[in-house]
Structure formats: structure tokens, C-alpha cells
A = this chain, B = another copy of it.
Amino acid sequence: MSRKMNFYAGPSTLPIEVLEELKNNIADYHGEGYSIVEASHRGKVYDQLHNETVDLLKELLGIPEGYSILFLGGGATLQFSMVPMNMLSTGKTADYVNSGAWGGKAVKDAKKIGKVNVLFDGKDSNYSRLPAALEVKPSADSAYVHITSNETIGGLQWKEWPSTGDTPLVADMSSDILSRPVPVEKFAMIYAGAQKNLGPAGATIVIIRDDVWKNAPSDLTAYLSYKTHAEKNSLYNTPPVFSIWGINLVLKWIKKHGGAEAMAERAAKKSQLLYNAIEESDGFYRCPVDPHNRSTMNVVFRLPSEELEAKFIKEAEARGMLGLKGHRDIGGCRASIYNSVPPKDVEALVEFMKSFAKQQA
């Protein structure tokens, strides 16, 4: 099979080993006589898969006691509603860091639910930098502080975490979860759509401290209350089975390859190759992001003109490198290099960047 090199911002590529497992077991799940997507979510076979996936997340992320792990539908986008619905009570203020496209969407939804204070607005710097961790100070009546650990479109990533004391810290980690160790105990809640670092689209992971879901308002409808899902181990209704199976396999792959620390090393190496190629290009490539906040997952860069950018993207595609076009809102180029993107694909891209720049000289 001739594999394309996938630099799309998401869904991400998956490890070959995971694809092979899916292929070998999709029609008959380990000889059970049915596919896992045909299995009852109340049966033993699915139950084992479900709980093993929870346990793998606990182990790989080092999630302490006192947290629940949920699998929900609707993507991180639904969490933009559920976080303020569950955590922002009347009389309190939700503090948000608006660090770009995703942080901005979270702000917009929270404002429909309650009082919002934007602690930091990246707009002033054209979303090229994040605040320092120490700059993040909760409001006096803060319900929680919300950050986006990695901005997929802008290519920004938090390197140190704010300390918010007793104020719950909430993070959307959709595009960099398990790309590095995270001190989960600093967070009241972490959420992440599966389709970048965890597996196939369809499930969203929620890691939530038990006091948070236990205090959810009782007037919420069933699906929109974290309590509903936490009390039923995410089996209140049918979960997105295939996506959870895929997550299970990706987590095993991460574990086999050394866990979060090894993924951080892998991400640092891959992203450094690209940032070095940019820095060493004598200004042919430029990264607009403050060097302190450059993402190890989404490397954004510009070329001297939009014409050259279009040519670059087209020629890369002809070499089997897909998804290098920047997001339509900001233009330019972007290489998304999630955990599953092989280092050799990044090396091939760097070679191409060098030869492309040379060819234009």
C-alpha cells in the first residue's frame, strides 16, 4: 500500500499498526463472531474495551484519584457549551484566554451562558503570542479559568501552565493531548476531541475532577450534564464505539513507544526539524509565532508571496505530502505533525522545503 504523507490539521493520520489492527478485527472482533461496532454496549466484550481505554488514559496521562474520564459525542465544540453550562453559576465570572480561533469560539459560547471576562486577548498581537503563565490571574469572582493548550490554526502552544490556586483551571487540549506529560492535578477539567492525537473522530475525552461534576446544576438536561455521564461511566446512552476502539489502539501504540515523555521527545524533534528549516532559510520561510509559544503540533509558516505558497503546496502534493495549506482564515502554510505522523515524513518535508527554496533562488 502506497501511503500518502498526511500533514492535515485533523483528522490526523494513524499509526500503520493501528490501521492493521482495525482491518484485521473490524469484521470479526478477535473471533467473537461479530464486529465490535455490532456489539452491545452493555455486553462484556465492549465493557472490557471501554474500561481498558479508561485505564490506559489514566496510566498514560498520570490521572490521579478523584477524576472521572468520559467519552462524549459532539467534539470539543460541544464542550464549549457544556463547560459554562456545568461550571458557570449565576453571580460568578468565567475567565477565558482568547488565544486564537479555538479559544475565541469557546469565549463566544460561554458569553451566551453567563458572565465572561477575557483575561488575555491575542487579537492585539495578531494571535502571535500567549500570555506568560504568571500573567494569568483569575477574577475575584472567577468560576474557572479556561485556556486552549494548543491553537491548531495559529500554531501556538502553552509551555508552562498557569497556577490558578483554588480557581478551577479548564483546558481544551484537543490538538496536543498526550503529546507531552501534563500535571493533570493542576486542572479541574481537561477535554479533547479524539481526532488529532487520540484516534478517529467521533469521541471527545473529558477528564473531570469529581467535585466539579458532582456540583453541576440540577436543571441541566440529561446529555448536557457531566453528572449523567460520570455516574454511568459514559454508558448512559450508546457511546461512539468505533472511535473508542481506535483510541484504545492508539493509546496502546503510545504506551509501546514510551508514553507521554517519549511522545514529547518525538514531537520536539519533529517540530525542531521544521523550525530549524524555517530559521535557516535566510528569510524565505517565516514563522509568525513568538518563539516562546511555537507549537510542536502545528507548525505555521509563510513564504515570500501567496503565489509561492500556492506553488509550494501544489508541488508538495505532487510528492504525496497532503494538507500543507494554512487555514483559510489566516492563509499561508501549516504542517500538522501529531503523534502519529512518522518522523520520516517530516524529514521528507524538510528536504522538500530546502529544495523548493533553492529552486526559487
* Residues of A near any B CB (own CB < 8 A): 1-4, 6, 8-14, 19-20, 22-23, 26-28, 32-35, 37-41, 43, 72-78, 80-81, 105, 108-109, 112-113, 193, 195, 200-203, 219-224, 236-243, 246, 320, 322-323
Contact = CB atoms under 8 A, between A and B. Distances in A.
Contact of A238 (B201, B224, B238): B201
The count of identical subunits is 2
Contact of A77 (B8, B13, B222, B323): B222
Contact of A74 (B74, B108, B200): B74
Given A200-B241, A221-B113, A241-B202, A35 B14 contact: yes
B19 A26 contact: yes
A77 to B, nearest CB: 4
A93 B332 CA distance: 51
21 contacts: A1-B27, A2-B33, A8-B40, A10-B238, A11-B38, A11-B40, A11-B241, A13-B34, A19-B35, A23-B26, A43-B322, A73-B75, A74-B223, A75-B237, A81-B222, A108-B222, A201-B238, A201-B239, A202-B203, A202-B243, A242-B243
Q: Which 4 A-B pairs have the closest CB atoms?
A: A73-B73, A4-B33, A202-B240, A81-B221
Nearest to A46: B11
Contacts of A27: 1, 19-20, 22-23
A162 B313 CA distance: 56
B109 A34 contact: no
Contacts of A236: 77
A59 to B, nearest CB: 24
B222 A109 contact: yes
Contacts of A34: 3-4, 6, 13, 322
Contacts of A80: 221-223
A72 B72 CA distance: 12
Given A40-B322, A80-B221, 12 more contacts: A4-B33, A11-B38, A19-B26, A22-B35, A37-B201, A72-B73, A74-B78, A80-B222, A109-B221, A112-B221, A202-B242, A202-B243
A108 B20 CA distance: 44
A61 B8 CA distance: 35
A350 B118 CA distance: 65
A74 B242 CA distance: 14
Nearest to A242: B242
B37 A200 contact: yes
Contacts of A320: 33
Given A28-B1, A33-B1, A41 B11 contact: yes
B75 A200 contact: no
Contact of A26 (B22, B112, B203, B237): B22
Nearest to A40: B8
Contacts of A39: 8, 11
Contacts of A113: 221
Contact of A224 (B41, B81, B193, B323): B81
Nearest to A84: B221
A14 B27 CA distance: 9
Given A23-B27, A81-B221, A223-B75, A240 B201 contact: yes
Contacts of A81: 221-224
Contacts of A74: 72-74, 78, 223
